C-alpha cells in the first residue's frame, strides 16, 4: 500500500501542492495555481459562503465587471491581526 507525503507552498504569486510516493521515492503529481481569491459581491444568505480561487477567481472577477473582492498577495494580508471577514467587503 502506497504512502504519500503532501507538500504545500503558499506562495505570494502562485501556490503549489506536490505529492510524493514514499514507497517509490518519487513525486506523483504537482499542482500549481495563482494565489488569488475572489469573493462575489452578492452572497445568498440561504446558501454556503461562496468564493473562487486561482484562474477561476480572476475569470469570475472579469466576468462580474470587477464587482466583488479580488485578493492577491494573500500572504501579506492574512497575518495582519486586525484582518476580519468584513475586510472582504
Looking at residue 6, its pLDDT comes to 97
pLDDT at 33: 94
Residue 76 DSSP one-character state:
H
Q: How far apart are CA 89 and CA 84, in angstroms?
A: 10
Listed by start position, the domains of the chain span: 1-34, 35-73
Closest CA relative to residue 42, chosen from 64, 72, 59? 64
Counting as low any pLDDT under 70, the low residues of the chain are 1, 83-89
Q: What pLDDT is recorded for position 45?
A: 81
In the chain, which residue ranges form alpha helices assigned H by DSSP? 54-63, 74-77
pLDDT score at 8: 94
- Residue 63 is predicted with a pLDDT of 93
CB atoms within 10 A of CB 15: 19
Task: Quote the mean pLDDT of the chain.
Answer: 86
Amino acid at each position: 500500500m502506497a504512502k504519500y507525503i503532501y507538500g504545500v507552498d503558499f506562495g505570494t504569486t502562485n501556490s503549489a501542492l506536490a505529492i510524493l510516493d514514499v514507497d517509490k521515492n518519487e513525486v506523483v503529481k504537482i499542482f500549481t495555481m495563482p494565489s488569488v481569491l475572489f469573493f462575489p459581491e452578492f452572497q445568498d444568505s440561504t446558501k454556503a459562503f461562496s468564493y473562487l480561487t486561482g484562474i477561476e477567481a480572476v475569470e469570475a472577477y472579469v466576468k462580474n465587471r470587477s464587482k466583488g473582492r479580488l485578493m492577491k498577495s494573500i500572504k501579506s494580508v492574512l497575518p495582519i491581526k486586525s484582518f476580519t471577514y468584513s475586510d472582504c467587503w
